[in-house]
Amino acid sequence: MPHLIIEATPHIARLLDFRSLMGAVHEQLAAQGHALLAELKSRVYKADQFLSGDDPTHEFIVVRLLLTKPRSEPVLNDMGRLIHDVVRDAVERVEPAFGWQCCVLVCDFSGAPYIKTVRDGTRSDTGASA
């Protein structure tokens, strides 16, 4: 863990290179010591049906950061800000011709059960954690 779940509206989704964006976020989180690179997991979902306020042309990108290991409040804020700034900068670089928002929700699930199995591709177990 951490998991990054990215939701983007259609026009933003078409403009961004999500593979590069996810790689940049992973690298920066790892470089700051917030997570091990091998433990970061990201995915993107496109919201085909959406509405922002009452403006059907206003688009958005929302990132949910799900965490299972305890972190201090300053670290949670640093992680959220880092993700926000990388994503915001990526959207600004493509210069969208429409209104948009960038949001990051930091979700601390460190007190919740988390069951995980990891396999290395040879079918040998590399461990599980709870």
**CA dihedral of residues 114, 120, 126, 128 (deg, nearest 10):** 10
- Predicted local confidence at residue 94, as pLDDT: 98
User: What is the set of domains in the chain, with CATH numbers?
Assistant: 3-129 (3.30.429.10)
39-62 per-position pLDDT tens digit = 999 999 999 999 999 999 999 999
Position 130 confidence tier, pLDDT thresholds 50, 70, 90: very low
Instruction: Give this prediction's pTM.
Output: 0.89
DSSP strands (E only) in the chain = 3-8, 41-46, 59-67, 100-108, 116-119, 125-129
Give the integer Cα–Cα distance in Å for 89 and 110.
29
Assign 3-class secondary structure to 89-104: HHHHHCCCCCCEEEEE
108-118 per-position pLDDT tens digit = 999 898 888 88
The tokens describing 21, both together, are 């964006």
Asked if 50 contacts 13 with a C-beta cutoff of 8 angstroms, the reply is: no
